[in-house]
Amino acid sequence: MIEEDLASFIESPVMQIVGTADEALKPEIGRGAGAWASADRRRVFLVLSAWQWPGTVANLKANGRVAVTFARPADYVSYQVKGAATLQSAVADEIDRSARYLAEMVSTLMRLGIPAEVIAPWLSNRDPFLVGIEVSDIFLQTPGAKAGTRLWSATV
């Protein structure tokens, strides 16, 4: 279950990095462009650019295994969510949500002193797909002694 604090964290302007692997166990990286938790708090939805991250999309189609780390750039507070994903093209409402996230994220990073043109290459929702993740595990990932602590698991 995704608790309320984590649900709001995921929806706030935090960086979203996506890990997958192909059938030969070769890992791949992508960046999310907006995320939120489902109403029943069992799933996470994430928008991802198939144009920028084709390897990630291919892996998600092939096996659905995914890990997403959400990290707040101001203080490095981070959580990692793992689970099984399904993939579909994003619809208008989801694309709007993604666009709002991108605008907020750019503002947040600019307030930390990073120029807009430096941020631009990282955040895209071109050719947007919606990744729906059935969450199996949640980990604390904030740098420090407790990094890697499992906060929740569907199997326990």
Residue numbers of the site for other proteins (CB under 8 A)? 17-21, 23-29, 51-52, 63, 65-69, 71, 74, 76, 78, 80, 82, 112-114, 117-122, 124, 126, 139, 141, 143-145, 147-148
Report d(CA 133, CA 16) in Å as an integer.
14
Q: Please report, for the chain, how many H helices and E strands are present, in that order.
A: 4, 7
> Residue type for 49, please?
S
| Minimum distance from residue 14 beta carbon to other proteins (Å) | 12
| Minimum distance from residue 144 beta carbon to other proteins (Å) | 6
Q: Is 133 left (phi over 0), alpha (psi -120 to 50) or beta?
A: beta
Residue 127 CB contacts under 8 Å (≥ 6 apart), including other chains: 49, 50, 51
Nearer to other proteins, 78 or 97 (CB): 78
Nearer to other proteins, 39 or 145 (CB): 145
| Minimum distance from residue 37 beta carbon to other proteins (Å) | 18
Nearer to other proteins, 12 or 63 (CB): 63
| Minimum distance from residue 45 beta carbon to other proteins (Å) | 18
Report d(CA 91, CA 74) in Å as an integer.
31
Report yes or no: 79 and 140 within 8 Å, Cβ to Cβ: yes
Nearer to other proteins, 40 or 152 (CB): 152
